[in-house]
Structures are given as C-alpha cells and as structure tokens.
Amino acid sequence: MSGSSGTRIGIIAGSGGFPFEINESLCRAGHEPFIVCLRGFVSPRDDALKNTRHAWADMLDPKRIITLLRENHVERVILGGGVARPGPMALLSVYAFFRNRDELRRIVSGGDDRILRGVIRLLEEHDFKVIGVDEVASDLLAPIGLLGAVPVPATASADIKLALSCLSDMGQYDLGQGVVVASGRILAIEGPEGTDAMLERVRQIQKNRRVILESGSAILVKATKPGQDRRVDLPAIGPRTIKTAKAAGLAGIAVLAGEVVFIHRRLLKQEADRAGLFVLGVEPS
C-alpha cells in the first residue's frame, strides 16, 4: 500500500546505511516511508537524512515510537540497522508495555533473536504489522549468480555445499548465519559475536599457524537459519565484509540468493573486484 493511499511503511532505523537503502528502495517502488531514527545509532549529521520524512526517539521509549508511527499513518513497519543490546535493567524499565512480566523476563534472559521477537510482539499488540525487507524491498537481496568480475574457483562448489549443510544443521541450535570453509574443512562458525569477529578469528589462527591454508581456498558462506523469522536479522554482507574477508585470506563469499542482503551493492562490487574476491549468489536447493 503506497503513501498516496493515506498509509505509510515505517522504518525503525538503527546504525549503518541499511535503513536508508530500505528507504530508497521503497521510494523507487512508489511508497512514502517514514523513518523513526533511534538516538545514539543514527547520526543527526547523516546526509542520508536529507529529503526523508523522519523523527527521533530513544530505543527504550516505546511510547514515543508508537505515537510517532500512529501520527504518521504507519500501518506496516520494517526493522533495519544495528542496535546494541540494552542491559537487563534498561529493558525492565519499559515492562509496562508488555502484558506480563514473565514474558519480559524471557525476553531479557534470552538472546538477541528473542529480544527482536519481543519487539515484534510489542508492535503487533499495538496494531502494526511488522514485515520483512524481502516483502517490499526484494531488490536489496542477493540475486543468483556472480556479482563482480572475479571468477569462482572450480573447487569452490563442494565447499559451498558443505558450508550450507553445516548452516542448515546448526539452525536447530539458533547459532549464527555464517561459516568459513576451506578444502572440505569447516574452519569457523559464526556465533553471537558476528561475522567480522569470526573472520578475525580465521585471520588469527592462520597468523598463529594453527591452520595453514592453500592460497585462495577459504570461503565465507552466509545463509538464513532454517525457519528463521525473516522480519528480523536477515544475514547481510557489505563493503566492510570484503575488507575483513580479504584480511582473513579468503578467496570469496557465497550467499543464498534471495535470503542475504547486499548492503551498498555498487560499492560492495567495487571492493570485491579491487580485493580480488568473488561474491556469488547461490540458488537455494
């Protein structure tokens, strides 16, 4: 439903450029999005704010966020960008917005996924429909095929298949969305620390000679978890991923097409070509 019909899609924006890429994609599709910028995560000096309909709110001020969404005729909401996990006491300060304290305790004691699911429930209890990027901005997701000019090694296919199988098996344990694989061996599994930290571990184990890789053999593979709620925390790669992958001695990155976000796609392609890394979208099986 476009802005011309009197309703808007709202974007709750954390850090990074991704919320503004969502905004641009929605504008191209004829929507008139409204952005709630979370203080401390979005910079007031960000040039991307120019010519956008936006307002500011604290992450732990759900009353203001909900009021802003209603005042701007928002019916559907997208969560985009990064946020730091609040401490338990900070979360407890907003308990009045949850229907019972037991639910809040489960959210506070759980991982990031549980917090995000709690945010979705909170919004939906106030009659907003939370949607995924794939529903309205699918042009931001990885397509099938090669992104840049760097070819995929002939040996990569078996390793990518192994990595995707590993990611599928890990899904039941709610682990990360990425692995590094080389020559039939899983070198690293992404945990709560994220992709960049995992790649730094790969760099360190090579530096310490705990693993000696053949040149151009290691690959980062990213995919969603089986049964993942696609409205939150879709896996993503961007220009920074290329830099950390290059530093870790990787040959390239493979992702499941349609399930992984390409952040700053044009710059991502340029950085990959400059670094000599391939970026490949793989068709889901």
| Predicted confidence (pLDDT) per residue in 9-64, tens digit | 999 998 888 999 999 999 999 999 999 999 988 999 889 999 899 999 988 788 89
The answer to whether 185 touches 213, Cβ cutoff 8 Å, is no
Q: Which pLDDT band, with edges at 50, 70 and 90, does 2 fall under?
A: very low
Q: Which residues pair with 252 in a beta bridge?
A: 219, 278
Cite the residue boundaries of each domain of the chain with CATH code 3.40.50.20: 3-136
Mean pLDDT of 75-86: 83
The C-alpha atoms of residue 233 and residue 143 are separated, in whole angstroms, by 19
| Whether the Cβ atoms of residue 220 and residue 253 lie closer than 8 Å to each other | yes
pLDDT in tens, 214-262: 767 899 999 998 888 888 778 999 999 999 999 999 999 999 999 999 9
What is the maximal distance between C-alpha atoms in the chain?
A: 61
Q: Coil, helix or strand for 282? A: strand
Which CATH code is given to the segment(s) 3-136?
3.40.50.20
pLDDT at 203 (0 to 100): 93
Q: What is the pLDDT of residue 78?
A: 96
Residue 5's pLDDT band, with cuts at 50, 70 and 90, is very low
The CATH code that applies to domain 141-282 is: 3.40.140.80
Model confidence at 208: pLDDT above 80: yes
Confidence of residue 103 (pLDDT cuts 50, 70, 90): low
The Cα 85–Cα 263 span in angstroms is 22
Residue with tokens 């979360």: 91
| Portion of the chain with pLDDT greater than 70, in percent | 86
The rounded mean pLDDT for the chain is 86
List, for residues 107-160, the tens digit of each pLDDT value.
445 555 556 677 788 899 899 999 999 999 999 999 999 999 999 998 899 999
Sign of the Cα torsion 285, 265, 16, 8 reads negative
pLDDT over threshold 50, residue 3:
no
Which residues of the chain form CATH 3.40.140.80?
A: 141-282
**Quick one: angle between helices 101-109 and 112-125, nearest 10?**
150
Predicted local distance difference test score (pLDDT) of residue 266: 95
Res 83: pLDDT: 72
Asked if residue 101 has pLDDT above 80, the reply is: no
> Which of residues 105 and 179 earns the better pLDDT score?
179
